[in-house]
């Protein structure tokens, strides 16, 4: 069997299967006892299954209700959001994408040796994000080699962004030895930094503490994250004009998501902690005197009450934006359930301020929809090349994750200038990685949060 076919088959197993195997093998490399390494892998698999079930429940209930809110608009959107699973399959199904994992690992190791990153990314499944950019560039340029080069560039940027965001992750979530080189989440971290600066200078808005804790203190039981989920769900159902039984079901479902998702993340962490600690010790021996992180999936972050609450509200907002933005042709659908991953690294920048997370997320959705529209033609072409089965009636396909993501869009636009454009972007990526490395090591983690969303931008 051809190597690309083998890799494509393995990737179809998904992170629920692949990551436990990787964690088990990685645990053995770290010389953990066999039983301990095996248990850690299984627990992580269980945690991912639980998280995906809850995220799927959120998308399958809130998504249709939100679509009902806008179905009478009469506007026709031609590019269907087929979601990240289809996007990942398209990415790994290409010849360039099949090599994303070895290319990404080599880049990561070289950057560690050169001191250009502090992150060892063991989240191999999510290398599909660099595979996606590489596949698009290979189509644009007609060059396999430039497609591989694009994967290298994307990996450099993602690792640098993971290093940059880690101090905010540490401050808000308390994860000292973990960073998140997640291709979906990291570009939105940069947008959050810009939006947070803007929010800080808006009178009144800058002083409002809208963290889940502050909301509960101010509004009592109605500030509790579970009750907030209930209220949000009921309101969406009422505005959508659903029958009373469906309104009540929607309310209870969203409340359940608010309660269950953080507990699924806790299960995931139970399996990860011993491996992360062992990896940290090993890295310290290999790179003495350097602070290093284990790169993981932002699934570990989506259980934040602020993230969940903002995600529920952003589902109808995203659909509303899709229908009113002039020039947008993207119909959000499958990826409405993955909005928590888009917000995962925005929430710590806003220090858990629910209001800032909602407004910042809504602002971020505007370029996301336009990029998804701009990328739809190329993504449709890529899908046809790998034999992707189109949904009935779909002429063009796209996705919010990663079809609407800024990083693959920038890489693809650079490729329009051929090898020269990518070479310039590669030099910029190395310069950016060097700048971030100096920035993070020179300054302490982002301190000085006021509890109102303000933070020091390192």
Q: Give, for all 458 residues of the chain, the pLDDT tens digit.
A: 555 555 556 556 666 677 788 778 878 877 788 888 888 888 878 877 776 677 677 667 766 765 665 554 555 677 888 778 778 877 877 788 878 888 998 999 999 999 999 999 988 778 889 999 999 999 889 999 999 999 999 999 999 999 999 999 999 999 888 899 999 999 999 999 999 999 988 887 766 665 655 555 554 554 466 776 787 778 778 877 778 888 888 888 878 876 776 677 677 667 777 777 777 777 777 777 778 888 988 888 888 888 888 888 888 888 889 888 999 988 887 787 788 899 999 999 999 888 899 999 999 999 999 999 999 988 888 888 777 776 665 678 889 988 999 999 999 999 999 999 999 999 999 999 999 998 887 765 554 344 444 333 33
Residue 339 lies in a domain: yes
Residue 455 lies in a domain: no
CA distance linking residue 27 with residue 102, whole number of Å: 20
CA distance linking residue 277 with residue 287, whole number of Å: 15
Q: Which tokens hold the place of 314?
A: 């952003």
What is the reported pLDDT for 116?
Answer: 95
What is the reported pLDDT for 143?
Answer: 93
Classify 278 in phi/psi space as left (phi over 0), alpha (psi -120 to 50) or beta: alpha
Question: How does pLDDT run across 47-89, given as a tens digit for each residue?
Answer: 777 766 776 776 677 667 656 655 545 556 778 887 787 788 7
Element (DSSP H or E) covering residue 272: helix 244-286
Q: How far apart are the first and last CA of the chain?
A: 49
DSSP assignment string, 283-340: HHHHSTT---EEE--GGGTTT-HHHHHHHHHHHHHHHHHHHHSTT--EE--GGGGGHH
* Local structure of residue 390 (DSSP, 8 states): P
| CB contact at 8 A, 221 and 227 | yes
CA distance linking residue 86 with residue 97, whole number of Å: 14
Long-range contacts of 144-149 (CB under 8 A, 24+ apart): 144/95, 144/96, 146/415, 146/418, 146/419, 146/422, 147/94, 147/95, 147/96, 148/96, 148/99, 148/103, 149/419, 149/422, 149/426
What is the reported pLDDT for 435?
Answer: 95
Give the residue among 331, 390, 296, 406 at the shortest CA–CA distance from 90: 390
Question: What are the backbone angles phi and psi of residue 330, rounded to the nearest 5°?
Answer: -85, 130
Beta bridge partners of 178: 294
What is the reported pLDDT for 219?
Answer: 47
Q: Which tokens hold the place of 173?
A: 């979530």
What is the reported pLDDT for 443?
Answer: 62
CA distances from 319 to 64, 73, 209, 406, 421 (A): 11, 11, 27, 19, 35
Residue corresponding to tokens 């997370």: 357
Residue 38 lies in a domain: yes
Query: How many residues belong to the chain?
Result: 458
Residue 451 lies in a domain: no
Residue 64 lies in a domain: yes
CA distance linking residue 230 with residue 224, whole number of Å: 10
For residue 199, how far is the Cα from the chain centroid?
23
In the chain, the number of structural domains is 1
What is the reported pLDDT for 452?
Answer: 43
What is the reported pLDDT for 204?
Answer: 72
Q: Say how many CA atoms lie within 13 Å of 53 toward its Cβ.
A: 13
| CB contact at 8 A, 96 and 151 | yes
In 122-221 the beta strands, taken as DSSP E runs, fall at 178-179
Handedness of CA 84, 300, 353, 182 (dihedral sign): negative
User: Where in the sequence is the domain holding 96, given as residue range(s)?
Assistant: 3-442
What is the reported pLDDT for 234?
Answer: 82
For residue 136, how far is the Cα from the chain centroid?
19
Residue 457 lies in a domain: no
Residue 107 lies in a domain: yes
Classify 175 in phi/psi space as left (phi over 0), alpha (psi -120 to 50) or beta: beta
Residue 454 lies in a domain: no
For residue 130, how far is the Cα from the chain centroid?
13
């Amino acid at each position: 069997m051809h190597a690309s076919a083998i890799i494509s088959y393995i990737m179809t197993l998904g992170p629920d299967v692949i990551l436990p195997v990787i964690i088990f093998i990685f645990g053995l490399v770290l010389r953990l006892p066999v039983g301990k390494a095996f248990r850690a892998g299984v627990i992580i698999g269980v945690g991912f299954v639980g998280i995906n079930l809850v995220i799927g429940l959120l998308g399958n209930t809130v998504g249709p209700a939100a679509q009902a809110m806008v179905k009478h608009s009469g506007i026709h959107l031609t590019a269907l959001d087929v979601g990240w699973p289809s996007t990942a399959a398209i990415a790994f199904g290409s010849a360039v994408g099949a090599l994303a994992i070895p290319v990404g690992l080599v880049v990561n190791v070289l950057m560690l040796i050169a001191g250009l990153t502090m992150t060892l990314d063991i989240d191999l499944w999510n290398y599909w994000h660099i595979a996606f950019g590489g596949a698009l560039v290979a189509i644009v340029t007609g060059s396999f080699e430039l497609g591989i080069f694009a994967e290298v560039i994307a990996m450099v940027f993602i690792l640098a962004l993971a290093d940059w965001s880690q101090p905010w992750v540490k401050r808000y979530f308390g994860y000292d030895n973990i960073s998140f080189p997640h291709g979906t989440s990291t570009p939105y971290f940069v947008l959050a930094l810009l939006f947070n600066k803007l929010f800080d200078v808006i009178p009144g808005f800058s002083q409002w503490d809208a963290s889940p804790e502050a909301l509960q203190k101010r509004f009592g039981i109605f500030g509790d994250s579970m009750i907030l989920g209930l209220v949000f769900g009921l309101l969406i159902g009422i505005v959508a004009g659903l029958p009373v039984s469906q309104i009540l079901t929607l309310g209870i479902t969203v409340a359940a998501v608010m309660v269950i998702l953080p507990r699924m993340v806790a299960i995931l962490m139970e399996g990860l902690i011993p491996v992360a600690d062992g990896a940290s010790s090993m890295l310290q021996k290999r790179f003495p005197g350097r602070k290093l992180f284990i790169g993981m999936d932002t699934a570990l972050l989506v259980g934040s009450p602020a993230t969940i609450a903002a995600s529920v509200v952003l589902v109808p907002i995203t659909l509303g934006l899709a229908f009113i933005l002039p020039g947008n042709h993207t119909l959000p659908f499958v990826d409405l359930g993955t909005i928590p991953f888009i917000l995962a690294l925005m929430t710590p920048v806003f220090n858990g301020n629910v209001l800032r997370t909602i407004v910042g997320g809504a602002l971020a959705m505007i370029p996301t929809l336009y990029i998804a529209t701009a990328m739809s033609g190329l993504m449709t072409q890529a899908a046809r090349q790998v034999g992707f089965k189109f949904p009935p009636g779909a002429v063009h396909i796209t996705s919010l994750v990663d079809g609407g993501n800024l990083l693959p869009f920038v890489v693809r636009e650079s490729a329009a200038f051929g090898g020269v454009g990518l070479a310039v972007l590669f030099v910029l990526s190395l310069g950016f990685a060097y700048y971030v490395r100096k920035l993070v090591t020179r300054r302490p983690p982002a301190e000085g949060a006021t509890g109102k969303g303000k933070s020091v931008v390192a």
